C-alpha cells in the first residue's frame, strides 16, 4: 500500500485528529495570508505614491559667494544677488528635456493689489494706504495647480481652471471673495499696485475654496486667506521687468520618479544651467514624507509574518509531535512490515499536506474577510488590502516549508528509534 493511500485513509478515518490539525493550519494560514496581503498592499501603496507624487527637481539661485560687493546707502551696506538668474530661456530649455512633464515657480506675496472695482473682505483695521484702499497679496505662479496649497489639498479648484505658463493677466481668487463681490469666472477685475504704481486688469480664470472661515481676528485684509489669490508670472515680468529678471526658484516635475536621476543629469548638462550660479537638487521630501509610514508598515508586517511563521511552526511541531507519539504503535508495525523510514515520514508529510490543502482553501475566504477588516483599521488612507493570486504563491511556499519542518522535527525521535525498541515499548 502506497504512503499516499495510507495518508488518505488516516485523514478520512481519524476525523477528530484531522479536524484539530485542519483548524490549526487554517488559523496559521489565515494569519499568514492576511499578513502577506497587508504587506503587498503597503508595497503597492508605496509604489502608487511614487507614481502619484512623481519626482521633483528643484532649481534655485546659488547665493553662496554671489551676493556682490555691497552698495552703501543711508541704511548701511546692502548686498544683492549678482549671479545668474532663472530666466524664461532657462525654463524653456528645461521644458524641452525628455521626461519633464511640467514646472512651476511659486512666489508667495509677490504682488500686492488693491481692488479698484471690487472690495476685499474687511479686517479689523481699514488701512487705506493706496488711492483704492488696502491691498491684499497674490502668489505669482507659472502653474497654480502645482502650488503647495493645491498639492496638499488645502485649496481646491471649484470653478474655471488653473493658471498655466501661457497665461497673461490672469488671476484666481477665493470663492468667498468672489461671492462677496458677486464675481464669477470670466469676469475682469482691476487692481492697483503701489509697487508699480499702475492699475492692471486681470481676468478671473478660476475660483478656489478652502480659504473660508479663517478670517478670525485679522488686522489687515491680507491676513484673511480668502482675500489672497494667485496671478500669472508673465504679468509680474510685465509689471516689474527691470527688477524681476528671473524666477526665484523653479520646480521641475518628471514623469517617472525612478528615472529622475537621468532627467537631473540631462538638465544639469544644459548650457543654460552648466557652469552657472544655479543649484539643482532632487527633491524627495514629499515622497519620503508619505512613503516612510508605508515602509514602516511593511517592515512591521514582515516581522509579524516572520513571527507568525515561527509561532506557527512551533505550534504545528508540538501538535504533530503529540500525534506522532500517539502513533508509535503504527510506526512500529509499519517498520516491522518493512516500510522504510522515508516512506513513513512521507506518509506523515502527505497527511499534513492533504489537510493543508483543505485549510488553504478555507483560509482564502477567511483571509479575504480579515483583510477587509484589516484594511478598515489601517491608519493610512487608501491602503487597499486584497487577497489575490500573487499572495497565494508565497503562502504556498511558506506553508510547505512550515509543514516540512514541523513533520521532520516531530517525527525525528520516533522514526530514528529501532523498530524493536518501539515494538518492545508497545508490548
Instruction: Give the number of residues in contact with other proteins, rule: CB under 8 A.
Output: 24
Work out whether the CA dihedral 201, 203, 207, 210 comes out positive or negative. Answer: negative
Candidate residues 243, 337, 377, 381; the one interacting with other proteins per rule CB under 8 A: 337
Q: Which stretch binds other proteins (CB under 8 A): 7-15, 143-151, 261-269, 407-415?
A: 7-15
Nearer to other proteins, 184 or 329 (CB): 329
To other proteins, the closest distance from the beta carbon of 30 in angstroms equals 28
Nearer to other proteins, 18 or 144 (CB): 18
Stretch 11-70 residues interacting with other proteins (CB under 8 A): 13-14
Q: Is 419 in the site for other proteins (CB under 8 A)?
A: yes
Q: Is 418 in the site for other proteins (CB under 8 A)?
A: yes
141: Cα within 13 Å, side-chain hemisphere: 27
Q: Is 10 in the site for other proteins (CB under 8 A)?
A: yes
Stretch 142-171 residues interacting with other proteins (CB under 8 A): none
> Grid coordinates standing for 139?
502668489
To other proteins, the closest distance from the beta carbon of 427 in angstroms equals 6
Query: 55 with 260: CB under 8 angstroms?
Result: yes
Candidate residues 72, 73, 217, 427; the one interacting with other proteins per rule CB under 8 A: 427
Candidate residues 35, 206, 229, 332; the one interacting with other proteins per rule CB under 8 A: 332
**Alpha-carbon torsion angle 241, 243, 249, 250, nearest 10:** 10
Q: Is 340 in the site for other proteins (CB under 8 A)?
A: yes
Q: Is 326 in the site for other proteins (CB under 8 A)?
A: no
Q: Is 413 in the site for other proteins (CB under 8 A)?
A: no
Candidate residues 91, 236, 335, 354; the one interacting with other proteins per rule CB under 8 A: 335
To other proteins, the closest distance from the beta carbon of 414 in angstroms equals 15
Q: Is 339 in the site for other proteins (CB under 8 A)?
A: yes
Binding site for other proteins (CB under 8 A): 1, 9-10, 13-14, 329-330, 332-341, 418-420, 423-424, 426-427
Amino acid at each position: 500500500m502506497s504512503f499516499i493511500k495510507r495518508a488518505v485513509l488516516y485523514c478520512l478515518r481519524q476525523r477528530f485528529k484531522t479536524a484539530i490539525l485542519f483548524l490549526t493550519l487554517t488559523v496559521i494560514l489565515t494569519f499568514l495570508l492576511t499578513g502577506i496581503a497587508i504587506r503587498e498592499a503597503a508595497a503597492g501603496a508605496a509604489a502608487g505614491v511614487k507614481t502619484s507624487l512623481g519626482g521633483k527637481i528643484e532649481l534655485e539661485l546659488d547665493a553662496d559667494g554671489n551676493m556682490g560687493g555691497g552698495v552703501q546707502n543711508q541704511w548701511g551696506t546692502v548686498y544683492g544677488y549678482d549671479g545668474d538668474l532663472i530666466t524664461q530661456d532657462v525654463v524653456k530649455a528645461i521644458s524641452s528635456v525628455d521626461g519633464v512633464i511640467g514646472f512651476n515657480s511659486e512666489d508667495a506675496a509677490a504682488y500686492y493689489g488693491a481692488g479698484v472695482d471690487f472690495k476685499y473682505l474687511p479686517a479689523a483695521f481699514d488701512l487705506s494706504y493706496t488711492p483704492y484702499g488696502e491691498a491684499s497679496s497674490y502668489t505669482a505662479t507659472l502653474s497654480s495647480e502645482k502650488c503647495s496649497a493645491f498639492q496638499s489639498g488645502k485649496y481646491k479648484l471649484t470653478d474655471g481652471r488653473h493658471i498655466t505658463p501661457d497665461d497673461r493677466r490672469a488671476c484666481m481668487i477665493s470663492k468667498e471673495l468672489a461671492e462677496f463681490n458677486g464675481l464669477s469666472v470670466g469676469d475682469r477685475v482691476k487692481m492697483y499696485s503701489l509697487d508699480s504704481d499702475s492699475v492692471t486688469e486681470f481676468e478671473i480664470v478660476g475660483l478656489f475654496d478652502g480659504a473660508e472661515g479663517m478670517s478670525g481676528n485679522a488686522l489687515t485684509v491680507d491676513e484673511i486667506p480668502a482675500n489672497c489669490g494667485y496671478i500669472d508670472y508673465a504679468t509680474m515680468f510685465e509689471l516689474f521687468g527691470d527688477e524681476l529678471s528671473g524666477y526665484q526658484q523653479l520646480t521641475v516635475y518628471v514623469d517617472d520618479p525612478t528615472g529622475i536621476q537621468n532627467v537631473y543629469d540631462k538638465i544639469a548638462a544644459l548650457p543654460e544651467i552648466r557652469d552657472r550660479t544655479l543649484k539643482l537638487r532632487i527633491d524627495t521630501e514629499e515622497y519620503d514624507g508619505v512613503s516612510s509610514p508605508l515602509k514602516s508598515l511593511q517592515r512591521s508586517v514582515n516581522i509579524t509574518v516572520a513571527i507568525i511563521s515561527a509561532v506557527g511552526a512551533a505550534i504545528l511541531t508540538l501538535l504533530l509531535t503529540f500525534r506522532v507519539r500517539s502513533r508509535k504503535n503504527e510506526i512500529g508495525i509499519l517498520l516491522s512490515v518493512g516500510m522504510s523510514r522515508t516512506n513513513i515520514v512521507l506518509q506523515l508529510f502527505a497527511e499534513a499536506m492533504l489537510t493543508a490543502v483543505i485549510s488553504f482553501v478555507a483560509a482564502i475566504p477567511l483571509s479575504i474577510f480579515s483583510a477587509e477588516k484589516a484594511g478598515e483599521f489601517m491608519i493610512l488612507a487608501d491602503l487597499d488590502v486584497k487577497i489575490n493570486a500573487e499572495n497565494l504563491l508565497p503562502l504556498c511556499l511558506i506553508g510547505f516549508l512550515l509543514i516540512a519542518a514541523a513533520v521532520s522535527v516531530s517525527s525525528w525521535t520516533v522514526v530514528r528509534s529501532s523498530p524493536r525498541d518501539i515494538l518492545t515499548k508497545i508490548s
